[in-house]
Amino acid sequence: MAEVNYILHLNAVFQQFYKDTRLNPTHISLYMALFQYWNQYRFPEYFQINREEIMKMAKIGSKSTYHRNLKDLTNWEYIVYSPSHNPFKGSKVKLLKFRTSGGQAVYQAVPNSGQAVGRTNKHITNKENKTKGQKPKNENEAVQFFLKNKWPATEGQKFYNHYQAIGWKVGGKTQMEDWHASAKKWMLKYREILKSKPKGQQFQNEDNLHTNRHKDYNEPL
């Protein structure tokens, strides 16, 4: 099993793509399809490929284009292609390793041996999902947050009940990511309402941020 840091490898190979004027989009899509295969096999030195799957993954519809691009990538030292000439046995491919300096395909042993991109992405996605859609555990948590920021408990209750009713979605569409930020936005919005009151208009219990004006709290902030 080869030792490959896929992030460093892809950074280096994309630097080389940028400098190599011989490449066209088909070369790059084919290389990325081969790289995905290499990743799925956990980066062995050589791995077998299935032509139909690689062509589908690379969005290549012509066999002649596929073989021509494989030959180009081999000649230009991105890969080593070993055709099997056997319909029951897949051809073998070796992806040469890249380092960031010079951009030349050379062997480079680096950490993170055999780590699959898909597995790592899944880990990151799961971590992100845990932070998305955050909301207070209950009404009391929202109330305590408002009290901590020197706002009355009733505003915390209004905030909680409003977003609880619409599934904790901002504007009724986008899932809330940080309810603390949304709560502070709620507070700022209410301050704007207080500042915009007509001159001389009296608010009941203004020190507690209560108003005698009727406000529809079902409106998105």
- Please give the pLDDT value at position 124: 42
User: How open is the CA angle 149-151-154, to the nearest 5 degrees?
Assistant: 135
| pLDDT string in tens for the chain (221-residue length) | 456 787 888 899 999 999 999 999 999 999 999 999 898 888 888 989 989 999 999 999 999 999 999 999 999 999 999 988 776 777 899 998 887 654 444 434 333 334 444 444 444 444 444 444 478 989 999 999 999 999 999 999 999 999 988 888 887 778 888 899 889 989 888 777 777 766 655 544 444 444 444 455 555 55
Residue 64: burial class (beta carbons within 10 Å; 0-12, 13-18, 19+): exposed
Tell me how far apart the alpha carbons of residues 204 and 11 are, in angstroms, rounded to a whole number. 62
Tell me how far apart the alpha carbons of residues 50 and 66 are, in angstroms, rounded to a whole number. 12
Here the tokens at position 5 are 């840091």
- Please give the pLDDT value at position 3: 66
pTM above the 0.75 mark? no
